[in-house]
Each structure stands twice: as structure tokens, then as C-alpha cells.
Amino acid sequence: MAQSSANLNKLGQPERVVALDGTINFRDLGGYPSQNGQITQWRRIYRAASLGNLTASDRTLLADLDVVNDIDLRSPSEQQSYPDQSWDSVRLISNPLYPTTGFNRVLNNHRVRKIFKRRREIPKLSNPVANIYQNVIMTKDSQQGFAETFSVLLSMTPEQATVFHCAAGKDRTGMTAAMILLALNVPDEIITQDYLLTNDLYNYSSDHQTPTNDAVQQSVDQMNTQVGEALYIQGVLTTINDGFGGIANYWREALGLSTGDLKQFQQMFLK
């Protein structure tokens, strides 16, 4: 996992974790190596937890970082109960990732498999939470949500940034981050590390501290990415890689995006 060691500020080098007073788990998807030797761009795509308690200084920082899109993956009821705090020049985008009706079908693995007919065999996952994650990426409503996120990212200018988030910044946000990193050819192991990092950041928040890049790297070095919650996101990766035959097929068949869109996305966010 590539890291920078300078303090976060508008002109300095970026940090993995953006230090904000009103939320935790706001972090940059930049600096990750791709399988072809490129690096994901810093300060273009951010992932986060709830943005309902941002302070005035938080909002100023996000404006300074040119974050112009706030993609809210939560349900309409969550958005109404705990609305995001806005900042200068930001566009709030309601993009619920889970179906707003009939959510039980996401929990029903058999039903999703029954309506999903493909030439390839969708992997069978033994972990029940991994099954739910799998169902999400196979459900049309969620696929439309992923496609909307990619459409927003594809519409950005080189100077602009986007943040996407849910409530805790883990499940819906974690799956979306995995989709983005897969599209940028980031190795599965690093995608898993990015997913698991949420747990460590909440541990830091209980001590009221923001971890340095060195502390983040130490957490990553100690991760066990083969058991427990790692299996959740690995089910997503396996389903896309084996069930769909790779992210390019998933883009076309599930998200309705073109090969040209994928190439443009990689050109925009890899260097």
C-alpha cells in the first residue's frame, strides 16, 4: 500500500486519512499501485462515513480540496433523518445503493441466483455476509447505483474531486470502493486491505486521534486478509473475477457501461 508521509494540506503531500473533526473514516483512494505499474491518483476520489456532523472548518477543507460531488449511498430515510452538511460548490447526489423497496431479495441468495442467468457459474459462498454482498452486486437496483457513481466520476474535470459514503463507510462504501479499485486494476489483496482499514480507523476514533500514514501502514502490515471480515469483500472480488470473467465484463453486462468508458476511467484516475 503506497503511502505519503507529509501532513495533509492543500499544497502539501496527501495523507491516506483526511483529518476532519466531524467524521471519521474519510480517506483518499489515491496512491494504490495498479497491476500494470501505475498509481491511482491522489485527491480525486474519497470514501467516507456519514457527513452529517461536519464542522465549519471541515467544510472549508473539503471546498479547498475541490470536492465538488458528494455521493450519498444511504437510503432516502437515512438521508432525511441525518442529512449531509454541504460546502461551497458541492453537488449533493442521492444514490441509494440498496434497493429502496423489496430489500428482502438482497438477503435471499436463492432468489437472486434464480433470476440471474449467465453462461458462467456464479461462485457459491459459504459466509452469510459474503452472500449478501454478492447479492448486492448482482441486484439490478444496486448495479444502477454503481453505474451512477461511475458516471459522476467520469464527468469530473482534472481539478475536481468526489466523495462517496454511506453511514459507517464500510459496507455500501466498501463495495463501491472495491468496484472503483477493480476498475483501476488494483490487486485484490490491496482492495481487501482498503476494506479492512475501516475497522482500524474506528479503533483510532475511540481514542480521539487521527492516525498518521505510518500508523496506517503499520495497521495494514498486521492485517490478516484471509479470514473473518476479509471474506465479505473477497466474495465480491471472486464473483466479479470468476462469475463475470472480470471487471470489464461486469462494466458492460451489469452496469451498462462501455469498454471506452472503462478506458477513459483508467486514463482519468491512473498515472
Select from 3, 15, 67, 68 the least CA-distant residue to 39. Answer: 3
Mean pLDDT by 10 residues, the chain (271 residues): 38 82 93 97 97 97 97 97 97 95 63 54 89 92 97 98 96 97 97 92 68 77 74 95 94 96 98 96
What pLDDT, on a 0 to 100 scale, did the predictor assign at position 221? 72
Select from 162, 139, 160 the least CA-distant residue to 149. Answer: 162
At a CB cut-off of 8 Å and minimum separation 6, what does 29 contact? 40, 44, 45, 46, 47, 177, 180, 181, 194
For 66, how many CA atoms within 13 A lie in the half-sphere containing its CB?
A: 12
Q: Chain centroid to CA 209: how far?
A: 23
Q: How far apart are CA 262 and CA 268, in angstroms?
A: 10
What pLDDT, on a 0 to 100 scale, did the predictor assign at position 71? 98
What pLDDT, on a 0 to 100 scale, did the predictor assign at position 1? 42
Q: How far apart are CA 152 and CA 70, in angstroms?
A: 10
Check if the beta carbon of residue 265 is closer than 8 Å to that of residue 154. yes
For 152, how many CA atoms within 13 A lie in the half-sphere containing its CB?
A: 27
Here the cell at position 81 is 433523518
Structural domains for the chain: 27-269 (3.90.190.10)
